[in-house]
Amino acid sequence: MPFFPHLSAPLDLGFTTLRNRVIMGSMHTGLEDRFYHYDKLAAFYRERARGGVGLIVTGGISPNRQGWLLPFGGTLNFAGDLWNHRKVTRAVHEEGGKIVMQILHAGRYGYQPFVVSASAKKSPISPFTPKALSERGIERTIRAYVRCARLAQRAGYDGVEIMGSEGYLLNQFLCARTNLRQDRWGGPIENRMRLPLEIVRRMRAAIGSDFIIMYRHSLLDLVEGGNSWDDVVQVAKALEQAGVTILNTGYGWHEARVPTIVTSVPRAAFASVAGRLRREVGIPVVASNRINTPHDLEAILMRGDADLVSMARPFLADPEFVQKAVDGRAEAINTCIACNQACLDHTFARLPASCMVNPRAGRETELRYTPATAVRRVAVVGAGPAGLSAAVVAAERGHQVSLFDASGTIGGQFKIAMQIPGKEEFAETLRYFANRLLATGVQLNLQQRVSRAQLLAQDFDDIVLATGIVPRLPHIAGIEHPKVLSYLDVLQGKAAVGPRVAVVGAGGIGFDVCQYLLHDPGLAVPEPLSHWLREWGVDLAAASDGGLVPPRPDLPLRQIYLLQRKTSKVGAGLGKTSGWVHRSSLLRKGVEMLSAVQYERIDDAGLHITVDGQARLLEVDHVVICAGQESQTELMDGGGQGPARFHLIGGAALAGELDAKRAIREGAELAARL
Ligand code: FAD
Ligand code: NAP
Ligand code: SF4
């Protein structure tokens, strides 16, 4: 009996068979936009195909210039590009995998001046107003899609995925929100769906029956003016008739104010919506969004909510996800924790996508963990993200590694992070590292605060200091007052906190502390789906257009002020794709956010501040300090000289701008060089 029998069951599509039910969903890695990156892209997909995934979907490739997401984005519109794409298809096929190319026309989401859409209505996320496509323009667009699919077929792809969700061009035609046309391409749903249907029909006629056409259909638009469930079903049935092989599903436009993939979204939140669609059509349906474990995947398939499950970011975190699940080694999977820090946040910053918990992602040809030529005795001090990463990579390469931590458990600050409501996923990374420590034979020494003398006495070749940080104590008059607590007192020491609180410092930790204080810490478990749906105003039944209903958040437990000295918007420094979620969540619970604050003093009355020249007293019971951190480097005192080589990584090397992404990457990069 296989470990995950539904997951590992092949799917016969009539003309081809997928080896299991797992799809690696489309991700823009940044490598597909330049021809000179296609060797790297091929290596990236090769590792994922070797890891056993059933079907890979490429990052979005535009069918023409108007469809570019970014200037000079990846395009397939002439035969000269086939050579590069063949590197990708060959690599995947050599590993026994299958791959479809996603055709993505960004429409009004394009960040470039040639943007077009159904109507000349600017999107809130691009500065460019689109030109409404004329009849001839529509005809040219259809031909571009068909040409693109034909070229994909010649490049050796097993099919194409037509991107019809997330608010891109075809979604813009489908919804009254963006389609204001009065001609045969606008008005009732029969007209609004004409463009995607025409594309599918003519594509199918051009490429024959033995080529996958997957269509990513928006089941919940999560924007005002989105489609009703009846419209969604009508379109799906028409797509099936037109020749679609597989219906993939999408949730929420990019401009939606409801999060759909960040870590606080409950796992598999939208799977039941795919299940409803599956009962309406006769072709395979794919579940997607916030699915990251083989157990959830298996449960979705077993319940009959989908025929296939698509995950994207989990394949950045672990290319061997499927193989490990099938082999009964699910515990060894490096789970995507939905932080977006190295993937989507990079994409928005126009950096190549990678992964916080797997810094090799997208860098397979550069960051290699090759066997060590000479075995070294390595001490790693600190079992936070930086030390864990260094220890397991060094041991994997064959070095003899001893890992020390003063605490009784591994994790460093990550252990604290995972107590924040909505960040429970962070525990998965520590489960993964614990597993790797065992598998790679790292000697783990907990509850050992080591000194420099102890380290030097043990004859190590390399000493890696990953001792992290200590919280900064700012110079504010009255900082020693009993109502002052550090974030460690609150999160680690579980200090009792009163109903009125001022949080000094509005970085990631200040936001997290607010989130923690707004919830009952006794309930710090994954929020049930119904609670999340109420909080964000989502109706999975889509009885109202787009699936939106008025949000009904819980009453806040405390009155909180979140303060910073900078004059910029509070939260401006948070991640591009998650910062707005943190801000909206706190604002909805009444947190007052203040910029340009000058701290005057803390006394029995509360926190005295000046804002814009105006003195103000915040009458609070406690002031929680989240004012950044300083490196903990005392083991370096005495320098890095001696028989052992000393190395500093993570917070110990530099506390400013520190996050776990840098900590894990630095650990891995150092260990790859030892
Ligand atoms: P640390 O995690 O600080 O680990 C250092 C370790 O060294 C500790 O375990 C300590 O016990 C040990 N140590 C120190 N001295 C000695 C000694 N002499 N002997 C033995 N052991 C010693 N980052 C993100 O990227 N994303 C987030 O969403 C995020 N959320 C966070 C939320 C909270 C509430 C907190 C507190 C942090 C969060 N962080 C987040 C920050 C992230 O956890 C840190 O950047 C990361 O843990 C730093 O890793 P590190 O290994 O350098 O140090
Ligand atoms: P941080 O992001 O550097 O924020 C520190 C805050 O303290 C800032 O708001 C700063 O604002 C304030 N501050 C700094 N010095 C001060 C002083 N002397 N007096 C008063 N205020 C002072 O650090 P952090 O919040 O401690 O987070 C640590 C790291 O963890 C960060 O790099 C962060 O990226 C990471 N993290 C990430 C997330 C996430 O969701 N991605 C969540 C938590 C943590 P002013 O100087 O304007 O007052
Ligand atoms: Fe997942 Fe975070 Fe890695 Fe992105 S960076 S793949 S969200 S773990």
Pocket of ligand 2 (CB under 6 A): 341, 472, 474, 504-510, 512, 564-566, 575, 578, 626-629, 657-659
In a domain, 509, yes or no: yes
Q: Is residue 528 part of a domain?
A: no
- Can you say whether residue 52 is alpha, beta or left, with left for phi > 0 and alpha for psi between -120 and 50 degrees? left
CB-based burial, 335-352: b 16+ in 10 Å, e otherwise: bbbbbbbbbbbbbeeeeb
Alpha carbon distance 553, 60 (integer Å)? 36
Q: Where are the beta strands (DSSP E) in 222-263?
A: 246-251
Domain residues for the domain of 343 are 5-348
> What type of residue sits at position 386?
A
CA–CA gap between residue 669 and residue 674 (Å, rounded): 9
pTM for the model: 0.95
Q: With contact defined as beta carbons under 8 Å apart, do 192 and 200 qualify?
A: no
* Residue 565, token pair as written in the block: 């000295």
CA 648–ligand 2 middle distance (angstroms): 22
Interval 400-424: pLDDT, tens: 999 999 999 999 999 999 999 889 9
**Is 535 within a domain?**
no
Helices 229-242 and 194-207, packing angle to 10 deg = 20
Q: Which of 263, 344, 345, 356 to mutate to test the pocket of ligand 3 (most atoms within 8 A of CB)?
A: 356
Quick one: which ligand is closest to 661's CA? 1
Distance, CA of 340 to CA of 578 (rounded, Å): 7
Could you tell me if 180 and 323 lie in one domain? yes
Give, for ligand 2, the residue of 626, 631, 632, 666 to mutate: max count of ligand atoms closer than 8 Å to Cβ.
626
Same domain, 265 and 299: yes
**For residue 392, what are the CA distances in angstroms to 437, 444, 479?**
6, 11, 41
Which one-letter DSSP state was computed for residue 386? H
Please check whether residues 319 and 331 belong to one and the same domain.
Answer: yes
Residues 133 and 226 in one domain: yes
Distance of CA 381 to the CA centre of its chain: 30
Are 343 and 405 members of one domain?
no
Query: What is the number of the ligand 3 atom nearest to the C-alpha of 342?
Result: 5
- Of 92, 95, 88, which Cα lies nearest the Cα of 31? 88
What is the pLDDT at residue 338?
A: 94
What is the best residue among 24, 290, 340, 577 to mutate for testing ligand 3's pocket, by most ligand atoms within 8 Å of CB? 340
Q: What is the CATH number of the domain that holds 493?
A: 3.50.50.60
CA-nearest residue, atom 1 of ligand 2: 507
Query: How many alpha carbons lie under 13 Å from residue 276 in its C-beta half-sphere?
Result: 13
Alpha carbons within 13 angstroms on the beta-carbon side of residue 521 total 16
C-alpha dist (Å) from residue 522 to 409, 420, 614, 646: 22, 12, 39, 43
Domains: count for the chain: 3
- What's 654's domain CATH number? 3.40.50.720
pLDDT of 650: 94
221 close to 175: Cβ distance less than 8 angstroms: yes
At 416, which helix (H) or strand (E)?
A: helix 413-417
Pocket around ligand 1 at a 6 A CB cut-off:
339, 341, 381-387, 404-407, 412-414, 416-417, 420, 449-450, 466-469, 491, 508-509, 512, 632, 635, 650-651, 658-661, 663
- E-strand stretches of 21-141: 22-24, 55-57, 99-103, 116-117, 131-132
599 has catalytic annotation: no
The SS3 of residue 613 is coil
In a domain, residue 603? The reply is yes
Whether residues 619 and 637 share a domain: the answer is no
H-run or E-run covering 404: strand 400-404
Q: Are residues 409 and 298 in the same domain?
A: no
Ligand 1 centre to CA of 652 (Å) is: 9
| Closest C-alpha to ligand 3, atom 1 | 336
pLDDT in tens, 644-661: 789 999 998 888 878 999
The rounded distance, in Å, linking the Cα atoms of 340 and 363 is 17
Contact between residue 644 and residue 377 where contact means Cβ atoms under 8 Å apart:
no
Tell me which residue has its CA closest to atom 45 in ligand 1. 659
Q: Strands 159-164, 11-12: parallel, antiparallel or unpaired by DSSP?
A: unpaired
185 within domain boundaries: yes
Residue spans of the chain under pLDDT 70: 520-527, 638-642
Look up the CATH number of the domain holding residue 237.
Answer: 3.20.20.70
Asked if the structure places residue 529 within a domain, the reply is no
225 shares a domain with 213: yes
What backbone torsions phi and psi does residue 66 show, to the nearest 5 degrees? -60, -25
> What pLDDT does 640 receive?
59
Angstrom CA distances, 439 to 11, 355, 432, stand at 34, 22, 10
Does residue 182 fall inside a structural domain?
yes
Q: Distance (Å, rounded) from C-alpha 414 to C-alpha 664?
A: 11
Point out the ligand 2 atom lying closest to the alpha carbon of residue 627.
Answer: 7
**Residue at which a domain ends, from 348, 367, 389:** 348
Residue 523: what pLDDT? 55
Residues 6+ away with beta carbon under 8 Å from 530: none
Indicate the residue among 348, 367, 391 that finishes a domain: 348
**Rounded distance between C-alpha atoms, residue 338 and residue 106, angstroms:** 24
* Other Cβ atoms closer than 10 A to 495: 13
Q: Are 195 and 279 in contact (CB under 8 A)?
A: no
Shared domain check, 658 and 563: no
E strand or H helix that includes residue 30? none
Catalytic residue among 45, 168, 516, 561: 168
Candidates 514, 506, 554, 565; CA nearest to 530 is 554
Domain C-terminal end among 331, 348, 365: 348
Residue 523 inside a domain? The answer is no
The number of the ligand 2 atom at minimal distance from the alpha carbon of 509 is 25
* CA of residue 128 to ligand 2 center, whole Å: 34
Residue 503 carries which DSSP code? Answer: E
Reported as half-sphere exposure (CB side, CA atoms, 13 A), residue 428 has a value of 21
Q: Say whether 437 sits in a helix, a strand or coil.
A: helix
Task: Give the burial class of 657: count Cβ atoms within 10 A of its Cβ; 0-12 exposed, 13-18 middle, 19 or more buried.
Answer: exposed
- Residue 625 CA to ligand 2 center (angstroms) comes to 10
Q: Which two tokens stand for residue 135?
A: 């009849």
* Measured distance CA(503)–CA(510) in Å, rounded: 6
Whether residue 170 sits in one domain with residue 91: yes
Query: 300: closest CA among 337, 265, 267?
Result: 267
Q: Is 353 exposed, middle or buried (0-12, 13-18, 19+ CB in 10 A)?
A: buried
* Whether residues 398 and 259 fall in one domain: no
Ligand 1 centroid from CA 132, angstroms: 51
Q: Are residues 387 and 297 in the same domain?
A: no
Distance CA 262, CA 249 (A): 17
Name the residue among 158, 663, 90 with its Cα closest to residue 414.
663
Give residues (CB < 6 A) around ligand 3: 313, 316-317, 336-343, 355-357
Q: What is the DSSP string of 171-213?
A: HHHH-TTT----STTSSSHHHHTHHHHHHHHHHHHHH-SSSEE
| Residues across the chain | 674
Contact 93, 56 (CB under 8 A): no
| Residue 466 CA to ligand 1 centre (angstroms) | 9
In whole angstroms, give the CA distance from residue 597 to residue 608.
Answer: 10
